[in-house]
Amino acid sequence: MRPLIGTSWKMHFTATQAGAYLAALRPLVAEIADRDLFVLPPFAAIFVARDRLAGSNVAWGAQDVHPEDWGAHTGDVSAPMLADLDCRYVEVGHSERRRDHGETPDLIAAKVGAVLRWGMTPILCVGEAHHRGPVAALADVLPDLERCLAGVSADALHRIVIAYEPVWAIGEHAPAAAPTEIRAVPVGIHAWLRGHAPGGETVRVIYGGSVDETVAPLVLGQPGVDGLFVGRRALDPAAFATIARVPILPAAAPLETTIS
């Protein structure tokens, strides 16, 4: 499975700043051919990504979407609007959206459906709030995952990307999870996906949470980890380019994870 490495800029960069960032990034990653790359700018800069990245090896997308295609929803942005900007990926269910906007799994499921309906790839974020080990993490993550994917048909499951982002590992001073913890949860997610629908084995599960140049090569080779979702460190295009090209180290043997 080709690794998927990308970043969400969150609420950083104006359209002008985005143009400068992408002009710096594009030549730094132009030779990378063995993995898929993406950036998720704020809504106001997506058109800049489309214009600056067209024809490159870096895809672009959005950080959120409204579940309805059209209507009286002031300030919201719909899936057809994003598809018209040639977005390939749309992030849904990030912990900050859940915290700040009260997003529920049912709402997130509707957003996943909207993204799929318009031919784009949802990046569905899941992760436990508290650091209590992988068994407790899976007990939190899997029921949430099931609700967020409730409307996805078996033949569409392969079009999803799962971003495992433990909430306690997100933030400026938060530590990344240990590699052994990181591998346990994606392995468990993969096992759940395989058991729930044909095509589940092809779903990419990427890790996000305090990823930097040191953490990236330790994580990317872990069993079950199919890529990286980089946060604040990727606000420096040179740092993101370094993370994007990290070697994939030989992985340890997969963990046996009990799924209930």
Q: List the catalytic residues.
A: 94, 165
CA distance 205 to 187: 9
* Backbone φ and ψ of 172, nearest 5°: -60, -35
Task: Yes or no: say if 157 and 149 are a contact pair by the CB < 8 Å rule.
Answer: yes
- How far CA 147 is from CA of 25, 73, 93, 134, in Å, comes to 37, 24, 12, 20
Task: Pull the structure tokens for residue 259.
Answer: 């799924």
* Backbone φ and ψ of 81, nearest 5°: -65, -40
CA distance 57 to 38: 8
CA distance 203 to 142: 15
Chain CA centroid to CA 58, Å: 15
Q: Which amino acid is at 221?
A: G
